[in-house]
Each structure stands twice: as C-alpha cells, then as structure tokens.
A and B are shown apart, each in its own frame.
Chain A
Amino acid sequence: MNGIYLSRLPWSGKVFCTLFLLGIGCGALAAFTQAATAIGLSPAEVQASLAPAMPMTHMSPGQMVGEKEITLGEISSAAKVWIRTPLLIQTSHTHLFGQTLIAGLLGLIFLFSSLREWAKALVLALPFVGTLVDIGGMWLTRFVWPGLSVLVIAGGSLFALGYALITVISLWQLWIGTVVRTSGIRGAGAPPSEASL
C-alpha cells in the first residue's frame, strides 16, 4: 500500500508486527479456553447461558407460583456462567470495543500485505464481521430465538478464521515471501500494487 509492503518493512517493523500477531494469538487461545470453560463451545451450551431462564415448574405466563419435586440431578452441576441482560450489556460493550480494536490493528497490518485488493478486503473484513455476528448473536439468542445461539459460534469462528489468515499471510510476507508479480492500479502518481507469495 502506497509503496509500503510487509516484506519491505525494516527489521523493527517486522519484529513489531510479528510480536503483535503472536501476542494476539496467545490472547485468542486464552479467550477460547475461557469461553470453553465458562460457557461452552456448542450452540446448546451457549443457548443455556444466554437464553432467558425458563421455569422448571412449567408455570404458565400469568401463573404466580409453581412448585414441583425434583432430584438433585435436575440442578446444574456444571460451574457455568449464566449471562443475564446486565451482564450481556457489559460483555457487549467491552467486547465490541476490544475485538473491534484488535480487528482494526490486525487489519492495519494486513493493509500492507501485497494481496489483490479484493482478497485483502475480504480477509480483513472477517474479524470485524465475526465480532458483529458474535455479539449480535448473543442479543438475538436472548431476545429473539434461542436457536440463534449458532450465530455466536459462527461469529467466533469467523473472527478466528480472519485472525488465522491474517497472521499466516502476514508472517509469510514479513519473513519468507518475496514480491513476484506486479499488477493492478496504475494512474497518475499512483505506485504500482504488487502481489507476493
């Protein structure tokens, strides 16, 4: 982009980008583990944490009290987080800021890769779209239909896919790839765009 490419960055730039990408990767692994242990990774587990609590006594909407005998096996033995609306608000605001900033920094590095424009745009959009699908899916699961919990998994997967592609391509171009092809935008004062492997 504008004559600056990952493969041509000075050593300090390469070290910065590499350590940032690896650091975010470690953070992503920790976040994955946290999500797996606190919530779960299946749509059913996400649904159990996010969907509104349903009465165990099968109280009808206008009924004021219900009671039934249970066995201890009917009470959750899993140490799982139950996300209610105030926590959903808190989670949304922190994750929308945090993940969007991470997606922005990943995208900023990736802007200097030498892929074709359409491919670059597609890959760097993945973490942003993943974040919106992930957080949006949480709200839809709670307030629209519990079955939409699948969106939370899909959003997280999109974010992870975007991170993986950006990291692999960027690290390749930073340390291994060489510019092999010149093509694309040419115009008054515009430098040639390049593609590398």
Chain B
Amino acid sequence: MTRRMLGSLGAVVAGAVMLAGVASAHITPPVVLMSDRDAVVTLLAGAQRFFVREVRLSPAEREAIKRQTGWTPDEDFYRFYLGRDGQGRLVAGTIFVTEFTIHGPVRVAVSLGPDGKVRGATVVELTEETYPWVKPLIDLDFARDYAGQDSRGHFHLSDRLGSLEAMPQFYGQVISGLIQRAALLFELGVLRRGDAS
C-alpha cells in the first residue's frame, strides 16, 4: 500500500516537474544593453543643449501610421529627446521604440536628423532568449544599413545579412520595422509640428 502511494506520489511529482520545466522555459529575463542616458548621449552626439518633447498623436496621425506600416500606435504619448546646437538649431532627435515579440520585448533607440533621415540606431533592451538571435545583427552593425533613409525608405534586410540564420533575419526585420516606426513618429511628432525652439 505504502509502495503504491509512493509510486503515485512520484508520478505526481514527475508530472509537476515537467510542467514547471515547460513554464519556466518561457520565462525570459530582460537583458538591458544600454541605459537611456547613454543611448541619448551616443545618438545625439554633437548637440550642446538637450530638450524633451512629448507628443500625443491625433486619430488621423495614428491612422496614417497604420496605413503606412500596419502598426497602430497605442501609447498615450511619445517622447523624443532633441539635441540642439548653441544657437538652438535642431541637431538630431532620439526616440525609443519597442516591439513586444512572442519572445519578449525588443527596445531600440533611433536617432533622426532634422531632415527626418535616420542617423543611427542601437538596441538597448531585449531578452535572454532573443539576445543570441540579435547579437549577430549587432556584431554586423546592421543598423547602419538604414542610415540616410526617411520613413518612406526601404526597411528590408540588406544582402550582406543574407547568410544569417532564420531567427537573426527575423529579428532584423523586427528591428528594421522599429526604425521605420521611429522615423515616421519623428516626422509626425517633430518635423510636421514645427520646431518649437
């Protein structure tokens, strides 16, 4: 009797351990590669004064973004860090954009010039699970492929990344989509609304 009960107990424990393993396999701790301040300092190089601009999108602006990218902006407001020179002229702006993938969030800081063109981008936060897939992209400095493009540019992976495996390529598409979102948000939130300096 006791042996049978111990056997049952063992089966229950084994089942629970398997379930716990399945559940814990989906817990993906975040990996923060860079603080917001470091990203702003790096991406707004050349600026002498720093400003923060916060913008609420109108329903028409949200619709325009959805039409162009398929993504619907859902934040209450979007924050831009603007860098200006000594005379108050806009040098560049930086915005942080995030995609919540099935493997966790991927957060990217994107810098844009006064002409609305991408100056640079850097991944600031991802997860343990996505890091091995995104690292090959970071190592190849893949974001430079989008420098000089505005929101209507081609945000596809360049041929030089064609040899990467499927998951890095997938995350390359995710991040390039984020860079395009940033360019579009900058265009609507900063350039079209005029420079408030």
Interface residues of A (CB under 8 A from B): 2-4, 10, 13, 16, 34, 38, 52-53, 55-57, 59, 63-72, 74-81, 84, 86-87, 90, 93-95, 97-98, 101-102, 104-105, 108
Contact = CB atoms under 8 A, between A and B. Distances in A.
A157 B105 CA distance: 27
4 closest residue pairs by CB, A with B: A86-B100, A97-B23, A79-B32, A101-B20
A19 B51 CA distance: 55
Contact of B52 (A64, A68, A84): A68
B54 A56 contact: yes
Given A75-B37, A98-B24, A64 B196 contact: no
Given A94-B23, A98-B23, A105-B17, A64 B55 contact: yes
Given A59-B54, A65-B55, A105-B20, A76 B36 contact: yes
B19 A90 contact: no
A86 B36 contact: no
Contact of A86 (B20, B29, B105): B105
Contact of A90 (B36, B49, B100): B100
Nearest to A69: B51
Contacts of B79: 53, 55-56
Contacts of B177: none
B16 A105 contact: yes
A52 B28 CA distance: 22
Given A67-B51, A75-B36, A75-B37, 17 more contacts: A53-B79, A55-B79, A66-B54, A68-B52, A70-B52, A72-B50, A75-B50, A76-B35, A76-B37, A77-B35, A80-B32, A94-B23, A95-B27, A98-B20, A104-B16, A105-B17, A105-B20
A190 to B, nearest CB: 14
Contacts of A84: 98, 100, 105
**Most chain B CB inside 10 Å of its own CB: which residue of A67, A87, A108:** A67
Interface residues on B, range: 35 or more
Contacts of A79: 32-35
B161 interface: no
Contacts of A2: 5
A65 B35 contact: no
B104 A69 contact: no
B196 A3 contact: no
Nearest to A87: B105
Nearest to A66: B54
A108 B54 contact: no
